[in-house]
């Protein structure tokens, strides 16, 4: 299969590594996507295990596409819709990109839909219905450089929705972004991990699930089960192997989260329990300045308010200054990673970073900053 994975911006390299580890090959990275080739088993595996991808798209056709007519005919002639989409199955169409004369994605999606349903109608005198929420197939068209690429989407929902976070605190991180940031730290589960302001607990949950290779727990509907060449034996075999792969929990180091806001803390508790990790995370409803834990080494993470979505920037100056003082006083020898969305504020830490990696957090241009606390 030829597959495209969509990625958070800045994490493409980490997604590519994840895909290589899971068995993908001929990898290419682009801005916000990674393309690769794989067999059925790997395709099912990446859907179970990729912690960074948003979605997987299996390419099924490519055709020259400049205008309405070439789109309509290209869709109709480039793929065997009559085999893959019986009239009793529902579908919907998603479009990204544009060509010079196809600039409205909504219009292009309608043309794709018309092309397929007209074909069905002409042969069978009946056609598939459109379903936005619960389709059997999602057909994706990407337009670029006068070319149309048709793909089938593997899931209805984005894979970052793991299913453990109905409650999501203030300005939560997307689960796949949290996971990618953790991959950058190279934390391997042997040193203590503290999240100073854990919000809904995303870093803590992702950190553990990633280390223990827990398959994504999402209540996903896998659309590939409806594909003509779905291989149930390989799928069930991979599913069984995925469930067996989980590593022994006893090897994990101490994992601690602090959250000052009572409501957000309660939500984090629910999320951690839904993820089945309540025995592995120590969660405190308190100011991070009251952390008592002592160890000569470990890793501290923090995704503080930036003064953009939450918090008043001037009040936050004090918070950042106190954080810098606290870390230097109590955690000398540790590694500290800060997701900074406001360079003015991070200067108040009065610490010198050893690494700054650009990432986008919900459209906010951020830096994932590494500090060695002295
Ligand atoms: C941007 S949110 C963190 C979001 C989190 N990464 C998630 O995915 O849900 C920042 C959090 O820091 C908490 N916070 C602010 N000041 C704090 C303090 N002094 N000690 C502990 N938590 C604090 C806020 O209540 C808020 O929930």
227 CB contacts (<8 Å, ≥6 apart)?
Answer: 58, 84, 137, 152
Distance, CA 41 to ligand 1 centroid (Å)? 40
Regarding the beta carbon of 259 and ligand 1, being less than 6 Å apart is answered yes
Closest CA to 163 of 207, 94, 221: 221
Regarding the beta carbon of 261 and ligand 1, being less than 6 Å apart is answered yes
For residue 323, the ligand 1 atom closest to its alpha carbon is 19
Distance, CA 172 to ligand 1 centroid (Å)? 9
Q: What are φ and ψ of residue 369, in 5° steps?
A: -105, 135
Contact at 8 Å (CB) between 128 and 134?
no
Sites in the chain below the pLDDT cut of 50:
none
The confidence score (pLDDT) of residue 367 equals 96
For residue 287, the ligand 1 atom closest to its alpha carbon is 20
The confidence score (pLDDT) of residue 254 equals 95
Residue with tokens 């069984």: 240
The confidence score (pLDDT) of residue 171 equals 81
User: Which of 259, 306, 339, 366 has most ligand 1 atoms within 8 Å of its beta carbon, as the pocket-test mutant?
Assistant: 259
Can you give the three-state secondary structure of the chain, one letter per residue? CEEEEECCCCCHHHHHHHHHHHCCEEEEEECCEEEEECCHHHHHHHHHHCCCCCCEEEEEEEEECCCHHHHHHHHHHHCCHHHHCCCCCCEEEEEEECECCECCHHHHHHHHHHHHHHHHHHHHCCCCCECCCCCCEEEEEEEECCEEEEEEECECCCCCCCCCCCCCCCCCCCHHHHHHHHHHHCCCCCCCEEECCCCCCHHHHHHHHHHCCCCCCCCCCEHHHHCCCCCHHHHHHHHHHHHHCCCCHHHCCCEEEECCCHHHHHHHHHHHHHCCCCCCCEEECCCHHHCCCCCCCCEEEECCCCCCCCCCHHHHHHHHHHHHHHHHHHCCCCEEEEEECCHHHHHHHCCCEEEEEEEEECCEEEEEEEEECC
The confidence score (pLDDT) of residue 79 equals 98
Distance, CA 303 to ligand 1 centroid (Å)? 7
Between CA 335 and CA 298 the distance in angstroms is: 6
329 CB contacts (<8 Å, ≥6 apart)?
Answer: none
Which protein residue's CA is at the shortest distance from atom 26 of ligand 1?
199
pTM: predicted TM-score of the whole model, two decimal places: 0.94
The string of pLDDT tens digits covering residues 234-275 is 999 999 998 877 776 667 899 999 999 999 999 999 999 999
Structure tokens at 309: 């979505």
Distance, CA 302 to ligand 1 centroid (Å)? 8
User: Which of 175, 182, 193, 199 has most ligand 1 atoms within 8 Å of its beta carbon, as the pocket-test mutant?
Assistant: 199
Regarding the beta carbon of 341 and ligand 1, being less than 6 Å apart is answered no
Between CA 225 and CA 221 the distance in angstroms is: 9
Distance, CA 81 to ligand 1 centroid (Å)? 49
Regarding the beta carbon of 210 and ligand 1, being less than 6 Å apart is answered no
Which protein residue's CA is at the shortest distance from atom 3 of ligand 1?
199
For residue 200, the ligand 1 atom closest to its alpha carbon is 9
The string of pLDDT tens digits covering residues 360-372 is 998 899 999 999 9
- In the sheet with 299-302, reading across from the earlier edge strand, the strands are 282-284, 255-258, 193-195, 299-302, 335-340, 364-372, 353-361
Map out the domains of the chain with their CATH numbers: 2-153 (3.30.2130.30), 175-217+247-372 (3.40.50.150)
End-to-end C-alpha distance for the chain, whole angstroms: 50
Q: Are strands 335-340 and 2-6 parallel, antiparallel or unpaired?
A: unpaired
Q: Which residues pair with 283 in a beta bridge?
A: 257
Residue with tokens 């290589």: 20
The confidence score (pLDDT) of residue 196 equals 98
Structure tokens at 335: 């590694």
Regarding the beta carbon of 169 and ligand 1, being less than 6 Å apart is answered yes
Regarding the beta carbon of 173 and ligand 1, being less than 6 Å apart is answered yes
């Amino acid at each position: 299969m030829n597959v495209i994975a969509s990625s958070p911006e800045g994490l493409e390299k980490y997604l590519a590594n994840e895909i290589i580890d899971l068995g993908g090959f001929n990898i290419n990275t682009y801005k916000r996507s990674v393309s690769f080739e794989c067999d059925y088993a790997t395709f099912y595996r990446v859907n179970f295990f990729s912690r960074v991808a948003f979605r997987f798209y299996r390419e099924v056709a490519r055709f020259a596409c400049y205008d309405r007519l070439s789109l309509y005919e290209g869709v109709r002639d480039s793929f065997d819709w009559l085999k893959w989409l019986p009239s009793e199955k529902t579908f919907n169409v998603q479009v990204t990109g544009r060509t010079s004369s196809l600039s409205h994605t909504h219009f292009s999606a309608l043309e794709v839909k018309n092309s397929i349903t007209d074909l069905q109608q002409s042969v069978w005198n009946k056609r598939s219905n459109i379903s936005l929420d619960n389709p059997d197939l999602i057909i994706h068209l990407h337009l670029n450089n006068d070319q149309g690429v048709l793909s089938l989407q593997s899931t209805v929902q984005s894979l970052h929705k793991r299913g453990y976070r109905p409650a999501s605190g203030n300005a939560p991180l997307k689960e796949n972004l949290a996971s990618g940031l953790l991959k950058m730290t190279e934390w391997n589960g042997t040193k203590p991990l503290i999240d100073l302001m854990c919000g809904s607990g995303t870093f803590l949950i992702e950190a553990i699930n990633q280390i223990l290779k827990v398959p994504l727990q999402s209540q996903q509907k896998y659309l590939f089960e409806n594909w003509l060449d779905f291989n149930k034996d390989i799928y069930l075999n991979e599913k069984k192997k995925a469930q067996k792969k989980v590593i022994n929990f006893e090897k994990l180091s101490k994992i601690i989260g602090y959250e000052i806001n009572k409501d957000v803390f309660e939500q984090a508790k629910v999320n951690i329990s839904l993820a089945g990790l309540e025995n592995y995370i120590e969660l405190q409803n308190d100011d991070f300045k009251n952390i008592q834990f002592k160890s000569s080494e470990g890793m501290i993470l923090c995704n503080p308010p930036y003064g953009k979505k939450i918090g008043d920037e001037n009040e936050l100056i004090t918070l950042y200054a106190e954080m810098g003082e606290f870390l230097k006083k109590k955690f000398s020898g540790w590694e500290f990673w800060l997701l900074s969305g406001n360079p003015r504020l991070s200067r108040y830490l009065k610490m010198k970073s050893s690494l700054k990696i650009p990432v986008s957090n919900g459209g906010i241009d951020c830096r994932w900053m590494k500090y060695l606390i002295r």
